[in-house]
């Protein structure tokens, strides 16, 4: 059973040989492959080679070729800067009531989103039918937080919700277009990345973000039984679980703070979790001999309804030995 078959059957609730292994590994892959991170981010050919090599070397059941947090926002005018450790970008919205400078980008070759499509096409050519291929889009609330600055964005949500809604509408429209473009480029599913949603209470999420997420997830899945949305909201989402699963997403990423045993009772047929080892304490700082028990525990706690992963990105300093032990722990689940 290959990664594509394993993923589709597992999410559908059909018998599989083992749960899929899908660690989120972005900068870790660049480092493991010996590629300077800025080159990994900005040179599509190098990113293709890196993800291809890592997917085969570590027997990862999917290909999810993310780059950095500002990939889409750069096409709106953000200017990410690499400080030797990470990228950051100054906000591009100074006044939430003034959005005239935000125009929907075109995905021309050489643009950041154009590069993503080129990466997806190349990886789909190589892995279609062998590994499950995910595209990625940053969700409208997190994109707004990136564009405005998180603190100001949260204040705006309380003080001027109508203006926030208009800003999110622009990013939502780009997200919907980018979903379509990535599916056309060969993606089978889309990860919707929304970490900032764990910063707001459930009532605000339901009022301002939930309707947009439902539309995005419907756009991804479109009634296709092998087309899966994968909603990623890291952090403590215990209070949000009922409404997040109510979006209809087939895969919900859950971070290490989430009680997956209690949460699994909320899963509808055809829904699974993905997670939830701690990226730091379990994956980065864990001992190789401890992975088998940790992975077995979350598998049993959810009744085999969790794709094996960490709750968020694998830290770039994680050893190869730990990644191999992580894979082997998943592969050896009976």
Q: pLDDT at residue 334 above 90? A: no
Write out the DSSP string of 76-134. TT---EE-SS-EE---S-SSTT--TT--PPP--TTSHHHHHHHHHHHHHHHHTTTSEEE
Q: In this predicted structure, what is the pLDDT of residue 120?
A: 98
- Residue 223 pLDDT > 90, yes or no? no
Predicted TM-score (pTM) of the model is 0.97
Are 310 and 275 in contact by the 8 Å Cβ rule? The answer is yes
Tokens representing 12 are 């559908």
Predicted confidence (pLDDT) at residue 27 exceeds the cutoff of 80: yes
Is there a contact between 2 and 131 (Cβ–Cβ < 8 Å)? Answer: yes
- Residue 302 domain flag: yes
Amino acid 225: pLDDT: 86
In a domain, 233, yes or no: yes
Among candidate residues 207, 282, 196, 204, the one with its CA nearest the CA of residue 234: 196
What is the percent of the chain where pLDDT is above 90?
A: 98
Give CA–CA dist 253/237, Å, rounded. Answer: 10
Residue 85: the pLDDT is 87
CATH for 200: 3.20.20.210
Structure tokens at 116: 């993503």
Q: What are the residue ranges of helices labelled H in the chain?
A: 3-12, 27-32, 37-42, 44-57, 71-74, 112-127, 140-148, 150-159, 161-185, 202-204, 210-221, 241-245, 260-263, 291-301, 320-331
Give the span between the Cα atoms of 82 and 250, in whole angstroms: 35
Could you report the per-residue pLDDT of 77-131, keeping only the tens digit for each?
Answer: 999 999 998 999 999 999 999 999 999 999 999 999 999 999 999 999 999 999 9
Residue at 34 is within a domain: no
Count how many domains the chain has: 1
Res. 32 pLDDT band, cuts 50 70 90: very high
What whole-number distance in Å separates Cα of residue 180 and Cα of residue 160? 31
pLDDT at 45 over 90: yes
On whether residue 115 sits in a domain, the answer given is no
Among the listed residues 255, 232, 227, 256, the one whose alpha carbon sits nearest the alpha carbon of residue 244 = 232
Per-residue pLDDT band for 224 (boundaries 50, 70, 90) equals: confident
The rounded distance, in Å, linking the Cα atoms of 170 and 179 is 14
pLDDT tens digits, 267-320: 999 999 999 999 999 999 999 999 999 999 999 999 999 999 999 999 999 999
Q: Is 58 inside any structural domain?
A: no
Domain region containing 316:
3-24+120-331
Tens of pLDDT, residues 134-156: 999 999 999 999 999 999 999 99
| 191 contacts 64 by C-beta, under 8 angstroms | yes
In a domain, 132, yes or no: yes
Asked whether residue 195 is domain-assigned, the answer is yes
Please, are residues 98 and 170 in contact by the beta-carbon 8 Å criterion?
Answer: no
What is the arithmetic mean of pLDDT over 159-172? 97
First-to-last alpha carbon distance for the chain, in angstroms, is: 14
Residue 56 located in a structural domain: no
pLDDT at residue 122, as a whole number: 98
Non-local (6+) Cβ contacts of 316 within 8 A are: 27, 28, 30, 31
Q: Going edge to edge, which strands form the sheet with 306-310?
A: 62-63, 132-138, 189-193, 229-232, 251-254, 272-277, 306-310
Asked if pLDDT for residue 76 goes beyond 90, the answer is: yes
- Tell me what pLDDT residue 144 has: 98
Give the pLDDT of residue 243.
97
């Amino acid at each position: 059973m290959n990664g594509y078959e394993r993923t589709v059957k597992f999410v559908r609730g059909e018998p599989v040989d083992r749960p899929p292994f899908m660690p989120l590994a972005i900068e870790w892959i660049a480092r493991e492959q010996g590629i300077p991170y800025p080159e990994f981010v900005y040179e599509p050919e190098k990113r293709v080679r890196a993800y291809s090599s890592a997917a085969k070397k570590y027997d990862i059941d999917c290909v999810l070729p993310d780059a950095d947090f500002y990939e889409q926002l750069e096409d709106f005018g953000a200017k990410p800067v690499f400080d030797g450790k990470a990228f950051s970008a100054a906000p591009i919205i100074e006044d939430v009531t003034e959005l005239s400078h935000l125009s929907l980008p075109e995905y021309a070759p050489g643009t950041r989103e154009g590069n993503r499509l080129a990466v997806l096409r190349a990886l789909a050519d190589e892995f279609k039918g062998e590994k499950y291929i995910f595209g990625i889009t940053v969700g409208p609330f997190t994109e707004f937080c990136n564009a405005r600055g998180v603190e100001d964005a949260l204040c705006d949500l309380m003080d001027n919700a109508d203006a926030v809604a208009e800003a999110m509408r622009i990013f939502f429209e780009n997200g919907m277009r980018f979903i379509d473009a990535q599916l056309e480029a060969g993606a089978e599913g889309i990860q919707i990345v929304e970490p900032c949603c764990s910063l707001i209470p459930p009532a605000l999420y339901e009022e301002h973000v939930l309707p947009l997420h439902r539309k995005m997830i419907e756009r991804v899945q479109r009634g296709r039984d092998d087309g899966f949305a994968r909603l990623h909201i890291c952090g403590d989402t215990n209070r949000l679980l009922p409404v997040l699963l109510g979006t209809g997403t087939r895969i919900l990423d859950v971070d290490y703070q989430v009680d997956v045993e209690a949460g699994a009772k909320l899963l509808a047929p055809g829904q699974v979790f993905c997670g939830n080892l701690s990226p730091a304490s379990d994956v980065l700082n864990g001992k190789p001999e401890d992975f088998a028990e940790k992975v077995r525990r979350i598998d049993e706690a959810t009744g085999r309804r969790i794709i094996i992963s960490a709750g968020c990105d694998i830290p770039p300093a994680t050893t190869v030995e730990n990644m191999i032990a992580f894979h082997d722990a998943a592969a050896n689940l009976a």
